[in-house]
Structure 1
Amino acid sequence: MRFLSAILMWGALMAVANAAGMGGADVSQKGLSAFSDRIKAEDSRLHDLAYVGDVLFAVGELGLIMKSEDDGLTWAASFAPTTRTLVSIEALQGDLVFAVGHGGTILRSGDAGESWELIEVGEANGESFLGIIRADNGRLIAHGAYGMLFKSDDNGYTWQKQEVFEEFFDWHVTGIVNHGDLLVMVGESETLAYSEDNGESWIKMESPYDGSYFGAMSVDDVLMIYGMRGHVYRSEDNGESWKAVPLDTTTALNSGRVLANGDLVLAGNSGLIALSTDKGKTFTKVPLSTGAPLGSVIDTPEGDLIYVGYQTTGRLKLMESGLYSEPGQASNNKDL
C-alpha cells in the first residue's frame, strides 16, 4: 500500500508539473510556486469550487489553489502551505474560508483567500479530511476518512476529535449537510445518520440501498442523497422514507449543489452534469464535450455553470430557454 501511495503521489506531482509545462523541473512546493504563472486550470486536477465574495476559487492536487476574478474565464494559480491534495473548499462566514484535504490538512484563511494558515490537527493522524461545514450554532465540523469527525468552537483555530457512534465506526464520512434543524451525514457503506444537537451526537438512519453515498443536498423541506453508480434518493420527511430518482447512468456522482435559484445540480464521472428544476423529482442531463471525471460545478451570478475536474474545466451558458449550452454547441439538454 505504501508503494502504491508513492506511485499515486508521483502521478499527482507529474500532473501538476505537466500543467505548468515544467517537464523534469523541481516539483517541490518551492519549485511549483516558482512556476505557478504557467499552470493552466484545464490541465490540472481540480476537485472543488467556491465563491468567496466575487472571487471564484478552485482547489486540487499538491495544495494547488486557482483563483478567478472573471467567473472562470481566466484563472491564476498559487500554492497553499502544503503539498497535500485539497478536496474541498468552503466560504463559511464573511472573509473566513477553509480548504481541507489529504494528510489531515485543514487550511484557514481569514482574509478571503488572500493568505492561508495550515492548522495542526495532530489527532487526525494523517488521514484525509473530505469536507467542512458550519452548524446552526456556529460550530465547525470537519469530516473525513475512516470515521474521522472533528469539531471547532473557536472558528477553526483548534479542533477536538469526537466519535460518530458509540460502537466502532471506521467508514469514510463523505458529506454533512444542514437540513432544517438537523445535520444529516452520509458516507461509505450505507452510512446515513442525523444529529439534532449540532453534531454533538448522531443517530443512525435506515439506508434505502446497500452502497455508498458521496454527498447530500437540502432545499426547503427536500433532502437529497447521492453516490455510487448513479444512485439518487429523495425524501420529504427528513429521511423517514426515501424515493429513488431515476438517472440513466451507472457513473459515480461526485458532488451536488443547490443553485441560487433553488435548482439542483449533480456532477460525476464521464463528464456527467445533471440538472433538476423540480426539487429533485427529475433530472435533465446537460451534454458536455468532455468525458472526463468532474469534481464540482457551481453557478455564476449570471446563472451560468462552471465545472472543474480531472484535467478539464469549462463554462455552460444559461440560454433564454432555461437550458444550458457549451459555447458553439446547441442547447439540447436531455431528460434522464
Structure 2
Amino acid sequence: MKSPSKFLVASLLSSAVIASTGMLSAQAVAEPVSDQILSSLMLDVDKAGTSNHLVAVGDRGHVLWSEDEGKAWQLGENSTQVLLTAVDFPTVNIGYAVGHDAVVLKSTDGGRSWNKVYEDKEAEVPLLDVLFTDANNGFVMGGYGYLLQTTDGGKTWHNRFDSVENFDEFHYNGMTQLKNGMLMMVGEAGTMYRSSDNGKSWETLESPYEGTFFGVSALEQLNGAVAYGLRGNAFITNDSGDTWTELDTGTEQTFFSGLVLKGNMPLLVGTGGTFSRNDGDDVLVNNQSDRAVLTGIVKTSDNVFVVTGENGIRRVDPSVIGL
C-alpha cells in the first residue's frame, strides 16, 4: 500500500475546517481578511523574492498577501475555488501557485491578483509543489507522477512525466534547487531524484528511507540538502544526494515543511504543531498549544516565523525554538 500523501492529508484537513466564504469580488481585495479566513486551512507561504512581502495559499482558492511580514493580510483576487497547496515567488512581483485539478495560477503584482495559466481537470490530479528558478523557468509537480516544466513564464508547458523513472506513479511532493544549481525532487515511498540539466532528465537516487518524503530544502553549502517526511524522519546530504545521514529530530511527528536557519540549522514543522531544530549539538522540539498541523514556514526580517496550517496563518516568536 502506498504511504499517505500530502494531498490526502490536505483533503482530510480541509473537510474538518469550518466552511469559509466563497469567491470574493475584486472590490474585496483591498479590505482586511476576516478572522474566519485567517483561521481556515492554509497550506503554504512564501516571501516574494527578497522583499518583506508575503503570500500564502490554501482552502477555497484563498490567496492572502501581506506587506508587513504577516502582521496584516489582504485577500488576492482569484478565479478558482480549488484547494491551493503551494506557492513560489521567484521575484518580488511574479509568483505561481498550484492546487487541485492540476491548476496553476500566476501573479505579476505580488499576489494581489491571479490568472490561471494551466488546468487539467480531466486528469483528476492535485499539484503539490511548485519551484521556479527565475521568473520564466519552473516546474509544477504532484500526484501520480505528474510533472510539467515551463521556460516562458507559464505560456506553454512541457510534459516531463517520462523524464523520471517512476513506474508506480508515486506522488512528487517537493522540489528544491541546491546552491550548485542541481535540482532535487522527493516524494512518496522514499522516492528521490536529481537533475543536473535543468530538469531535462532525472537520475533516481538511492533513498535512505522507504517512507514518504514531503519536502526537501537546500542547505547553505553547494551540495547540501535536507529531506523530511513521515514519523519525524529527516536526512541530510552534503554530496548532492550520493549519500545521506539521518538527522536527529527528537520527534515522531510528520514534517510537511522546513527552512534552513543561519548556521545551516534545519528547522522543520509538521503534525502536532511541531517545531524541530537541530543545531548540530542539541535538538530542540516545541509543540504549539493547539497541536494544529503546520504545513508551511518562512522567516521574516524582524526575526519572526510566519507559519501556515490547519488553523490558518500566524506569526510565531522564535523563542519557541530557543532563538
The alignment's TM-score, normalised by the length of structure 1, stands at: 0.81
Q: Are 1:117 and 2:115 counterparts?
A: yes
Gaps in structure 2 of 5+ consecutive residues: 1-6
- Write the distance in 1 (CA, Å) between the matches of 2:92 and 2:135: 16
- Write the distance in 2 (CA, Å) between the matches of 1:223 and 1:313: 26
Counterpart of 2:247, as a letter, is V
* 8 Å contact from structure 1 (residues 139, 198) kept in 2: no
Task: Tell me: CA distance 1:119–1:137, structure 2 relative to 1, closer, same or farther (3 Å).
Answer: closer
1:138-188 per-position Cα deviation (integer Å, ceiling 9, x unaligned) = 631111110000010101222111124356341100111112131111000
For 2:99, the equivalent position in structure 1 comes to: 101
Q: Are 1:305 and 2:305 counterparts?
A: yes
Task: Tell me: CA distance 1:107–1:136, structure 2 relative to 1, closer, same or farther (3 Å).
Answer: closer
Tell me whether 207-216 or 255-264 shows the greater mean CA deviation. 255-264
Tell me the CA shift for residue 297 of structure 1: 1.4
- Aligned residue among 236, 240, 243 for 1:241: 243
For 1:275, the equivalent position in structure 2 comes to: 277
Task: Name the SS for the 1:289 alignment partner.
Answer: coil
- Write the distance in 1 (CA, Å) between the matches of 2:37 and 2:277: 24
- Write the distance in 2 (CA, Å) between the matches of 1:10 and 1:306: 23
- Aligned residue among 48, 51, 61 for 2:47: 51
- Write the distance in 2 (CA, Å) between the matches of 1:62 and 1:297: 20
* 8 Å contact from structure 1 (residues 189, 212) kept in 2: yes
Counterpart of 1:236, as a letter, is N
Q: Are 1:199 and 2:195 counterparts?
A: no
Q: Are 1:161 and 2:163 counterparts?
A: no
Task: Name the SS for the 1:62 alignment partner.
Answer: helix
1:223-281 per-position Cα deviation (integer Å, ceiling 9, x unaligned) = 21111111011111222211111222221100112346754321100000122444xx7
1:119-268 equivalences in 2 (<5 Å): 119-122=117-120, 125-135=123-133, 139-162=137-160, 163-165=162-164, 168-179=167-178, 180-219=180-219, 220=221, 221-259=223-261, 262-268=264-270
- Write the distance in 2 (CA, Å) between the matches of 1:308 and 1:137: 24
Task: Name the SS for the 1:275 alignment partner.
Answer: strand
Higher RCO (C-alpha 8 Å, min separation 6): 2
For 1:60, the equivalent position in structure 2 comes to: 58
- Write the distance in 2 (CA, Å) between the matches of 1:78 and 1:14: 24
- Write the distance in 2 (CA, Å) between the matches of 1:300 and 1:292: 22
- Write the distance in 2 (CA, Å) between the matches of 1:37 and 1:316: 19
- Write the distance in 1 (CA, Å) between the matches of 2:233 and 2:286: 18
- Write the distance in 1 (CA, Å) between the matches of 2:13 and 2:194: 38
- Write the distance in 1 (CA, Å) between the matches of 2:282 and 2:126: 33
- Write the distance in 2 (CA, Å) between the matches of 1:108 and 1:172: 23
* 8 Å contact from structure 1 (residues 245, 282) kept in 2: no
- Write the distance in 2 (CA, Å) between the matches of 1:216 and 1:36: 33
**Percent of aligned positions that are identical:** 26
Counterpart of 1:92, as a letter, is P
Tell me the CA shift for residue 78 of structure 1: 4.2
Counterpart of 1:256, as a letter, is G
Task: Tell me: CA distance 1:111–1:200, structure 2 relative to 1, closer, same or farther (3 Å).
Answer: same
Counterpart of 1:229, as a letter, is R
- Aligned residue among 49, 67, 70 for 2:68: 70
* Alignment size in residue pairs: 307
- Write the distance in 2 (CA, Å) between the matches of 1:288 and 1:167: 37
Task: Tell me: CA distance 1:176–1:167, structure 2 relative to 1, closer, same or farther (3 Å).
Answer: closer
- Write the distance in 2 (CA, Å) between the matches of 1:32 and 1:229: 42
